Structure formats: structure tokens, C-alpha cells
Amino acid sequence: MKKYPWFVAGDLNAFFALAFDNVANLVILASVLIGGFGMPKAVVLYRMVPGTAIGVLVGDLVYALMAFRLARRSGRDDVTAMPLGMNAPSIFGMSFGVLGPAYVLTGDALLTWKIGMAVTVMLGVFKIVLSFAGNAVRTAVPRAALLGSIGGAGLALIALLPMLKIAADPIPGLLGFAVILIALVGNVRMPWGLPGAFVSALLGVAAHHLLRAAHFASPIIAAVPSAPAGLHVAVPWPTLAFVGGLSAAWAYLPIALPFSLATVVGGIDNTESAAAAGDEYDTRAILLTEGFCTLAAGLCGGVVESTPYIGHPAYKAMGARAGYAIATALFIGLGGIVGYLPLFVDWIPAAAVAPILVYIGIEVIAQAFLASPHRHSAAVAIAVVPSLAFLIAIQTNSALSAAGGSLARLGGEVGESLRAVNLLGNGFIVSALVWGAATAELIDRRYLRSALFLLCGAVLSLFGVIHSPAAQGTFVLPWSEPSRLSLHFAIAYAAAAVTVGAARFLAGMPGEAKTVAPSQDP
């Protein structure tokens, strides 16, 4: 057996890439919650951030241990650990779909934190259970539906919203974005082999603070006076504080669960990708670790799930082993506990880290089209639409709230359109899955399977899981919902299911087609 060099030169580059990706996600989380929803900085930086960091600490250490075991079992010295970090789509889903709305509804930051904890704990349990059936779920849902729904979230939330941060502070934002395009899209090697994300952020941070010092900051940046964050030891011990948010957390699961489903399927894909690169990890162990570290984060006060990252082959190409995962675990985990991580999060401007998130969002939507069968392109496109509605809804609702108005008081064509946008956006990830799956099955002439997905939409809409008529997009009981909108949607989906089911007879087909010939590919 060859001796396994667990830390080599390649681990340094890999550490910068993985650690900074996690820091960038935390910066956006804090920026949205503090700057966008006005949550107290102390709750976000000293309660949410340390607990969330624990998930990365646990997960990356376990993945490093798995790399050691694989190296010992295989006798190889080039094993690369799986990368793990905070899930970027989930950050936007939790920020705009759970934490922000909960704070607007309750006005209680501590209760909002407990609701976020409770949702994260439930997601951890969900992922642990699903890890035993991950392949079955992957088989049941067409790839176009799953990737299209997350691709829509990537386009609307991960790409467009951070792009607004770039537009608000264009000099550091576009400077960093240019570096991202050069390094990650153009594949140009940075000086001394530095990661493109690190160089992008370094230039963005330097430009931002130099402009501030020269009194030439962007005039449209909202100046929110607050005391700078300092070192603050906050040991995130496991706690049952999440129990205080359980009763309210159930209503937000329709938004959060699909993101977890996507991370489970993504974990399967990433394990296969690692195997193709030469590192054969056990899929169930990878998924169980993902669920366990998400559960640990929630119990310790975290509000964002952890997931294996896409890019194991890239880290392997850098020459990384297990050292980069250990270094990332210690940097992120200890940073949350000792307090220097909140200091970084508070000091780094959103415009400096937005470019890497824009790139991730673009890659996610590109993957949705490229990794799905070409004939399912229409299904991917349809699955994107609900995310765009959700984006419009959160922006218009924020504008109305800031202006002292409300959606209920708007009349005429404008009021009708905005209420329809809210209905379309509520439960957008789930409705995107339903639409995308039904369309993909229809394209493949599997009419009964398509109808079955639409019948699922009928049941889901009846209880407000999708298209909820409630003001905050939460669950409803059809017998106590005064407007009966949920009943209208349920009937509509059921009627669509019957129509699609009948299409097999209109097409003159005695049975369902198993495959689609290339000539039928739209």
C-alpha cells in the first residue's frame, strides 16, 4: 500500500475555492436577512451563522475520514475527499421563502430563528430517511422536472438577485464578475494558480473599500448605519430551542423540502461523478452524512442545510487529497464558534461575492438544459416559469410593504395580476416539479404517468402546498378557506389530468409508448 499524503500543495488551492464558496453563501444570507428584511444583526451573525457553520464542520470532517478509509481500502495515494458546504439554492429558498416571510409575519427575530432551526432539523431527518430511497426517487421524477425546477430557482434567485447587488455597486461588482468570466468561463489560469473566485472577491473587496475611503461609493447603495461586528465567542451547543418554532415551521416545508430533494439527487449524481474520476464512495454513506450534518446544524442553531458540492473532479484535477476538506471544516466551523467568521461576513460587501453566485446560477440553469434529454427542453422551460413568478412576487410585495400599501387593497387589472403572480409563485419549487414532470412524460407519450403528476398537483393545491391563497403562502384547509381558490386549482388540475389521460385515446394508441423515436424528438 502506498502512503496516503492527506495534505499536498493542491489542497491549498482547493481550500481557497471551497472555503470561500461557503463564506460567499454566508455573506449573501446575512445581506438578505439584515439588509433586505431588517433582521437584527446579532441574531443573524451570532445565532444563525455559528450553527450553520457546524454543519460544514461535521460534514467535511466525515468526508475527509471517508477519503482516508477509501485510500486504505484501495491502496491508492491519490484519493480526493468529497467537497461539502452550504447549499446555495437553499440559502435563497430559506431567506426569501422561510426566514424573511416569517420575520415579516411575526416581527420576532428569535422566533424566526427557531422556525429556521425547526425547518432545518426536519430537513435533516427527511434527508436521512430519503438516503435509503434516493435512487428510487431519482427514477420516479424525470430529470427535466428536477433540474428545471432548481434551474428556475438558480436563474431567478441565485443569478438575478445577486446581479442586482452588482448593479447597485457596479465598480467592484463588474470588476469581480469580469474575473469570474475570465477564470471560470474562459478557463484562463489566474496568477500563481490562485482560484478565480478568490481573486474575484479580493479585487471586489479592495475596490469597494477604496471607493468608500475616497468618498466615491455608489450613490444608490442603501446606507444602513450599524456597529461593525466584532469577535464574539458563540459556542453553538445542541439545543431543543427549535421546538419553539415547530408549530409554525410545518407551513414552510413545501418551499424547503424540494431543495432537500434536489440535494439528495445531486448527492447521488456527485457520487457517480467522483466514481468516474476514480474515487468510488458509497452512495448511501455520502447521503447519510449529508442528512446528519444538516440535522446537526439545525440542532445547533443553523438555518441552512449542508450538501456535497458539485465539482469533485475539479478538486481532484487541482491535486487535492483530504487536507482541503479538513482545512475548510476547521476554518468555517471554528470561525463560527470563535467569532471571526461573522467578522468576515460583516466586512465583505455583497457586491464582492455576488459574481460567484451569478456564475453558479447560470451554471445551474445551463445544466438543466444540457443534462436533460434534448426532447425535454420544453419541460425544463415550463419548470422555470414558477420561479420567475416567485421572484416578481417577492419584489412587488417588498415594494408595496415599503410604500405602506398592501396587495389586498389593490384593485383593477394591476391588483388581479399581482395576486395571480403570488398564487403562481407560492410553492413554486413543487409546482415546477409537477409541471416539468407532467410535460416530460407527455412528450414521451406516457399519458397516464403525466396525468398522475397532474393529479398530485390537484391534491397539493387543495391544501395550499402549491398556489396557496394564504397571505404568507402557507398551508390551508379547503373547508375553512373562504375564497375557495384552493378548490378552484384542485378542480383545474384534476380536469387537466383527465384531459391528458384521454389524449392516449385521441392519439389512437392502445397502450403507453415506452420510448420516443429520434424523429419524434421536438
Percent of the chain with pLDDT over 90: 33
Query: Are 238 and 110 members of one domain?
Result: yes
Between residues 123 and 364, which one has the greater pLDDT?
Answer: 123
Residue 412 has pLDDT above 70, yes or no: yes
Query: Are 339 and 245 members of one domain?
Result: yes
- Tell me the pLDDT tens digit for each residue of 432-445: 889 999 999 999 99
Can you give the pLDDT at residue 499?
A: 95
Query: Are 408 and 340 members of one domain?
Result: no
Query: Are 321 and 259 members of one domain?
Result: yes
Residue 503 has pLDDT above 80, yes or no: yes
Confidence bin at 37 (pLDDT 50/70/90): confident
SS3 305: coil
Query: Are 263 and 381 members of one domain?
Result: no
Can you give the pLDDT at residue 522?
A: 35
Can you give the pLDDT at residue 304?
A: 92
Looking at 302, 331, 362, which one is the last position of a domain? 362
Q: Cα 156 from chain centroid?
A: 12
Please check whether residue 220 lies inside any domain of the structure: no
Can you give the pLDDT at residue 62?
A: 96
Q: DSSP readout, 479-522?
A: GG-TT-HHHHHHHHHHHHHHHHHHHHHHTT-SS--S---GGG--
Between residues 350 and 240, which one has the greater pLDDT?
Answer: 240
Between residues 416 and 244, which one has the greater pLDDT?
Answer: 244
Over the Cα atoms of the chain, what is R_g? 23
- Tell me the pLDDT tens digit for each residue of 263-300: 777 687 778 778 877 888 988 899 999 999 999 999 99
Range of the domain at 429: 374-504
Residue 509 has pLDDT above 70, yes or no: no
- Highest mean pLDDT range out of 22-26, 61-65, 409-413? 61-65
Query: Are 352 and 380 members of one domain?
Result: no
Please check whether residue 2 lies inside any domain of the structure: no
Please check whether residue 113 lies inside any domain of the structure: yes
Please check whether residue 51 lies inside any domain of the structure: yes
Query: Are 152 and 279 members of one domain?
Result: yes
Q: DSSP readout, 235-299?
A: -----SGGGGGHHHHGGGHHHHHHHHHHHHHHHHHHHHHHHHTT----HHHHHHHHHHHHHHHHH
Please check whether residue 110 lies inside any domain of the structure: yes
Query: Are 464 and 334 members of one domain?
Result: no
Q: Which of 134-138, 184-188, 515-519 comes out lowest in average pLDDT?
A: 515-519
Quote the mean pLDDT of the chain: 84
Instruction: Provide the number of structural domains found in the chain.
Output: 2
- Tell me the pLDDT tens digit for each residue of 48-60: 999 999 999 999 9
On whether the CB atoms of residues 176 and 203 are closer than 8 A, the answer is yes
Please check whether residue 341 lies inside any domain of the structure: yes
Please check whether residue 521 lies inside any domain of the structure: no
Looking at 335, 362, 389, which one is the last position of a domain? 362
Can you give the pLDDT at residue 226?
A: 55
Between residues 30 and 325, which one has the greater pLDDT?
Answer: 325
Query: Are 89 and 22 members of one domain?
Result: yes
- Tell me the pLDDT tens digit for each residue of 416-466: 888 899 899 888 878 888 999 999 999 999 999 999 999 999 999 998 888
Between residues 205 and 232, which one has the greater pLDDT?
Answer: 205
Query: Are 348 and 418 members of one domain?
Result: no
Query: Are 58 and 133 members of one domain?
Result: yes
SS3 84: strand
Query: Are 48 and 144 members of one domain?
Result: yes
Four-point Cα dihedral 459, 465, 466, 468, nearest 10: 110
Looking at 362, 383, 406, which one is the last position of a domain? 362
Please check whether residue 123 lies inside any domain of the structure: yes
